[in-house]
Amino acid sequence: MAEEFPFEASGKNLLKWYVKNKRTLPWRSLRDPYAIWVSEILLQQTTVAAVLGRFLPFLEQFPNVEALAAASEEEVLTALQGLGYYRRFRAMKRGAEVVVRDLGGELPNDFDGWKALPGIGDYTAGAIASIALNHPEAAVDGNVVRVMTRLLAISGIHETPAAKRQIGTLVLLMMGKMSPSEFNQALFDLGATICLPANPKCDACPLVPWCRAYHTDRVSFFPQRPPKTKMVDVEVAVLLVRRGTSFLMCRRPFDAKRMPNFRELPEVWLEKEGDAKQALRNLIGEKWGVEVQVGRALLSCKHTITKHRLTCSLYQCESDLEDLEGMEWVSRDELKDAPTSTITKKLLARFEDAS
């Protein structure tokens, strides 16, 4: 039972391990709540390696909440393009606007205040409150769930907010009176470097003397997961219309669920046996009433979006299209500073290499 578990002794051992083994990360030298907020949003569903090169440049461009609030959404998305899951960045931008407009530019000073901002849930609010403000709050992400379910051999699926709050209660018991900032980051590092999903390094783990999963030979059993989402293979036909050094592109709506306000080449997701050329002719014909001749496939690339595994093929348009409503000509230079879909960037990069 959890009541019988030596939380204090195991927690102290974890913190000793962390002092000697903690990762050097750029946001760890900062205690500014704004910087920690930015780091946590960038890290959502993104690897640390992918964020390392983006965090400090972002802070240089938007050094405080006022700068972020004053920026355009396009500027923010462009600064972070390539990281995916762009709704989190739109929410962070809206959160900055709320802070400046409604809170006089003063960032929240507790868990509830942070959670009230757009795009911030239990984990992010707990992370900011504990790391930046040193408040005794749990911050339960996937790493923490894995560590705690193995340590205490907790069965069941812990994907829901309620289940994570139960884990959070155990984290606070283990934290005791230790520094919340140091303790939560110790848990993050343990899950990221030692208590790995596959092939965990149990011999190097500071919690192994108390780990119930380890001592019952069930480490691989925890944490229990819901059934994996089946991947769906999709063929995507993409149309290349070129005029000099510019390409004809459409812009996604500001309220689009995926990649809002991003530019992209016209594309069609096909049925399994779909005719790519006809689908592209239909796309242009139905939207703009223009007939086009679609040439051969020039090249293709692979891309994955959530449960969809895409094969994207680029077809050249042999018609001389003029301006179309809702479309715009975007030059190579403009593409460097405009939020652009990953599929479009991949295909154009390959096209340029082959030209």
pLDDT at 10: 97
- Are the C-beta atoms of 240 and 265 separated by less than 8 Å? yes
Instruction: Give the CA diameter of the chain.
Output: 76
The pTM score is 0.78
pLDDT at 274: 73
Checking if the pLDDT of 89 tops 80, the result is yes
> Which of 221, 256, 290 is the last residue in one of the domains?
221
Concatenate the DSSP letters of all residues of 67-79 into one string.
HHHHS-HHHHHHH
The pLDDT confidence band at residue 3, using thresholds 50, 70 and 90, is low
Q: Please state at what angle helix 161-175 crosses helix 142-152, rounded to 10 degrees.
A: 70
pLDDT at 212: 97
- Which residue reads 């139960």 in tokens? 166
Checking if the pLDDT of 67 tops 80, the result is yes
155: domain CATH number is: 1.10.340.30
**317-352 pLDDT tens trace:** 876 677 778 788 898 888 888 889 899 999 999 998
Output phi, psi for 179, to 5 deg.
Answer: -60, 115
Residues 109, 187 within the same domain: yes
Domain range spanning residue 162?
2-221
* 350 lies in some domain: yes
**271-324 pLDDT tens trace:** 866 799 999 999 989 888 888 899 999 999 999 988 899 999 999 987 667 777
* 227 lies in some domain: no
Residues 125, 165 within the same domain: yes
From start to end of the chain, where are the E strands? 232-240, 242-243, 246-251, 263-264, 267-269, 294-305, 308-317, 327-331
Residues 34, 57 within the same domain: yes
pLDDT at 272: 66
Tell me if residue 352 is catalytic.
Answer: no
pLDDT at 270: 93
Residues 327, 184 within the same domain: no
Residues 110, 161 within the same domain: yes
Residues 157, 243 within the same domain: no
Please tell me which residue in 3, 4, 8, 40 is annotated as part of the active site.
40
* 123 lies in some domain: yes
**96-108 pLDDT tens trace:** 999 999 999 999 9
Q: Are strands 308-317 and 232-240 parallel, antiparallel or unpaired?
A: parallel
DSSP for residue 177:
T
Q: Mean of the pLDDT values across residues 238-265?
A: 86
- Are the C-beta atoms of 244 and 71 separated by less than 8 Å? no
Q: Mean of the pLDDT values across residues 66-71?
A: 98
In 3-state terms, what secondary structure has residue 331? strand
Count of domains for the chain:
2
> Which of 202, 221, 240 is the last residue in one of the domains?
221
Residues 26, 158 within the same domain: yes
Q: What angle do CA 183, 186, 192 make, to 5 degrees?
A: 150
* 19 lies in some domain: yes
Checking if the pLDDT of 1 tops 70, the result is no
Residues 54, 152 within the same domain: yes
Residues 160, 246 within the same domain: no
> Which of 184, 200, 221 is the last residue in one of the domains?
221
* 11 lies in some domain: yes
Residues 155, 17 within the same domain: yes
* 78 lies in some domain: yes
Residues 205, 283 within the same domain: no
Task: Please state, rounded to an integer, the average pLDDT across all residues of the chain.
Answer: 93
Per the structure block, which two tokens stand in for 255?
A: 């309220």
* 314 lies in some domain: yes
pLDDT at 244: 83
- Region of residue 258 (phi > 0: left; psi between -120 and 50: alpha; otherwise: beta): beta
**206-247 pLDDT tens trace:** 999 999 999 999 999 999 988 888 999 999 999 998 888 889
* 226 lies in some domain: no
Residues 79, 135 within the same domain: yes
Cα–Cα distance for residue pair 7/176, rounded to 1 Å: 8
**106-153 pLDDT tens trace:** 999 999 999 999 999 999 999 999 999 999 999 999 999 999 999 999
262: domain CATH number is: 3.90.79.10
Bond from prior residue into 223 cis (ω within 30 degrees of 0)? yes
